Structure 1
């Protein structure tokens, strides 16, 4: 049996007085999470829902066409058109080949640079880290224009140095990989270097006492201890590779090797803003988002399995 004691001062019971803090403690997490939930709803869920709605419709002329185009519900026809389009499949192949080259090259280079900066023999760490990180501070369009002029056959110095045409049909992919790697390697290097600074110093000292050299310490201790950070960087890099857009868009003005549908993002851009086919653009964007989600889930699953 619950005994309720009246409060002589205000007439409230002790049970009522204790219920207030408990109620506020339950509402506090909801209040703190409300801004994030609102931002997620407005910037992610609502746009995805609207894109899903657009992907189910297309514009068609009715009768003799005097009434103008009108929206027609076509169910999954836009998705079938996108998957059956040879240009879209070719764009997916270009991005897949780009990711196979760019992801290991960029992450591997960033890891090596971070390990060198974390080494005890490197001087002026802040200066070197700033120098490597500086390309990330350059806007993507400006960086693309700089590299485009460097690749230009008329005024660019690299065209005479490289054994292949950097803007040709066989050289444009390595050129784009070089542009993206140059811009993003410093960003990932800072992430890896920050993670390396959290490795316990006593563990590193113990490895030195046991006779392990710098390379053995880096491979056997440092790299395994920052593996979760490496997997997170891998997820972000894979997602960014699938969304490749700025570099090929800039190079389109300098070469015919990059078409308007060279990547899936360019395919969506061409469908929406050039062909005004918003249904096809929405379907292609949702397919790209689904591929990004599946690859991210696969990488995270491999990360969790490796951690266990």
Structure 2
């Protein structure tokens, strides 16, 4: 309980405390109540960043989880040759630190010095710039998907391995084909794993920070200081010296994430019941 209070409750309480004050040129920190929250609710830059990660979540998370589920089903089918090799290979990108992954992909995206630039030079073509304002969010989604497909695949595969073989034997006696087994046995049986992976992915999407922060130096015209809520809070705190307002942004994003994750969990539990 002491450790829980120190590393979990105390930082939250201190952030709430900071969000109720405002640093002034004269008089230092002054209590302003909910003024910082009112400012956040009318801050177009904050809500633009929230909308951006919301769009990122709606598009990237289903693609990532769909690929992870497809790979898990393929490995569990018993028809994939060298499944241990594929399982390790697909999980391996998750072991790459997020900063290293963002740097690696950022240099590959480069049109003057990276893989895209080399392809343009060799074949005499002009591929779209992955770090342009129109494509940078898709490029970040590609990095996140590459990094976390293996992690979610392992969750799904572990859930699949807990299904009793008697269910497969009964399905085989009933003449069920592979698609019917997947639809009627495997997916319902791993619904809990799907809910957990979805909640983790939602939390990760709203916490998006490492990739845009690293790529910002490579694409300064595409990634602004308010590209994501976390990047916005970081810029406010460490560049703008607005610690109180930064804490307010963090508290609001924590509440938004908690509510959405709770709703997803309730819906998943109802379907499972």
Aligned to 1:184: 148
Matched, 1:275 2:240: yes
Matched, 1:229 2:193: yes
Structure 2 contact 116–127 (Cα < 8 Å) conserved: no
Distance (whole Å) between structure 1 residues aligned to residue 77 and residue 22 of structure 2:
59
Higher RCO (Cα < 8 Å, 6 or more apart): 2
1:72 alignment partner, SS class: strand
Aligned to 2:224: 259
Task: State the Cα distance separating 1:61 from its structure 2 match.
Answer: 2.0
Matched, 1:307 2:272: yes
Of residues 2, 10, 33, the one that matches 1:75 is 33
Structure 2: unaligned runs, 5 residues or longer = 121-125
Matched, 1:49 2:7: no
Task: State the Cα distance separating 1:126 from its structure 2 match.
Answer: 1.5
Of residues 278, 284, 294, the one that matches 2:259 is 294
Distance (whole Å) between structure 1 residues aligned to residue 143 and residue 135 of structure 2:
13
Distance (whole Å) between structure 1 residues aligned to residue 4 and residue 128 of structure 2:
46
Tell me how large the CA RMSD over aligned residues is. 1.3
Task: State the Cα distance separating 1:163 from its structure 2 match.
Answer: 4.8
Per-residue CA distance 1:49-98 (angstroms, 9 max, x = gap): 00000001111122xxxxxx511111111111122111111100110010
Per-residue CA distance 1:18-49 (angstroms, 9 max, x = gap): xxxxxxxxxxxxxxxxxxx2232111111000
Task: State the Cα distance separating 1:205 from its structure 2 match.
Answer: 1.8
Matched, 1:129 2:87: yes
Structure 2 contact 98–210 (Cα < 8 Å) conserved: yes
State the TM-score, normalizing by the size of structure 1.
Answer: 0.84
Distance (whole Å) between structure 1 residues aligned to residue 157 and residue 164 of structure 2:
14
Distance (whole Å) between structure 1 residues aligned to residue 2 and residue 86 of structure 2:
40
**How many residue pairs were aligned?**
266
Structure 1 runs (4+) deviating above 3 angstroms are: 158-163
Distance (whole Å) between structure 2 residues aligned to residue 242 and residue 75 of structure 1:
26
State the TM-score, normalizing by the size of structure 2.
Answer: 0.94
Aligned to 2:123: none
Matches within 5 A, 1:1-308: 37-62=1-26, 70-158=28-116, 160=119, 163-255=127-219, 256-308=221-273
Per-residue CA distance 1:107-148 (angstroms, 9 max, x = gap): 111000000000121122211110000000000000000000
Aligned to 1:24: none
Distance (whole Å) between structure 2 residues aligned to residue 183 and residue 45 of structure 1:
30
Distance (whole Å) between structure 1 residues aligned to residue 3 and residue 263 of structure 2:
26
Task: State the Cα distance separating 1:209 from its structure 2 match.
Answer: 2.3
